[in-house]
Amino acid sequence: MSFGDLKTGVVIEYPFLWSIEAQRGETEGRKPRPAAVGVRIPRASGDILLLFPITTKQPEMDRFAVEVPDIEKRRAGLDPQARSWLILDEYNEDIIGQSFYLEPTPPLGQFSRAFFLPVIREFVARARYAKRISRR
């Protein structure tokens, strides 16, 4: 994979840094986990990616999260036997070409546009409430 393949809906392994970890002063994600490229913002100095974590731990009721349907788990390269949620109330922001965390490794898979675009539209509507962790 090249960095050009990092488009909306692609799922990659990424050492996601949760907001609770960042609040404690941590700067590194504890483990690589599936994360979806939500938005890619073109910049001359390096495109910005907004990355959303995917977890198998059921989120609390007050979280903005979407359960991933079985067909989408298969498309995204996730374990089809495990329940998975796409978390949308926090995200990591990283820059292609300047990141210590983005690797040009093959993606796990990709969500379909039919599933992912409505989810991202809802994120955009709620973005001001989301927790942004800058990895720059």
Q: pLDDT tens across 4-54, in order?
A: 778 999 999 999 999 999 999 988 899 999 999 999 999 998 899 999 999
CA angle, residues 19, 36, 122, in degrees to nearest 5: 80
Residue 56 confidence class, pLDDT cut points 50, 70, 90: very high
Residue in this structure with the two tokens 């995204």, named with its chain if needed: 76
CA atoms within 13 Å, Cβ hemisphere of 17: 22
**Which residues are CB-neighbours of 98 under 8 A, at least 6 positions away?**
45, 46, 136
Residue in this structure with the two tokens 């941590």, named with its chain if needed: 26
The answer to whether the predicted template modeling score (pTM) of the entire model surpasses 0.85 is yes
Q: How far apart are CA 87 and CA 51, in angstroms?
A: 10
Q: What is the DSSP letter of 69?
A: P
Which tens digit of pLDDT belongs to each residue from 63-113?
A: 999 999 999 999 999 999 999 999 999 999 999 988 989 887 889 999 999
H/E run at residue 131: strand 131-134
CB 37 within 8 A of CB 6: yes
Q: Would you say residue 115 has pLDDT above 60?
A: yes
**Which residues are CB-neighbours of 92 under 8 A, at least 6 positions away?**
14, 16, 17, 29, 35, 50, 51, 53, 133, 134, 135
The separation between the first and the last C-alpha atoms of the chain, rounded to the nearest angstrom, is 22
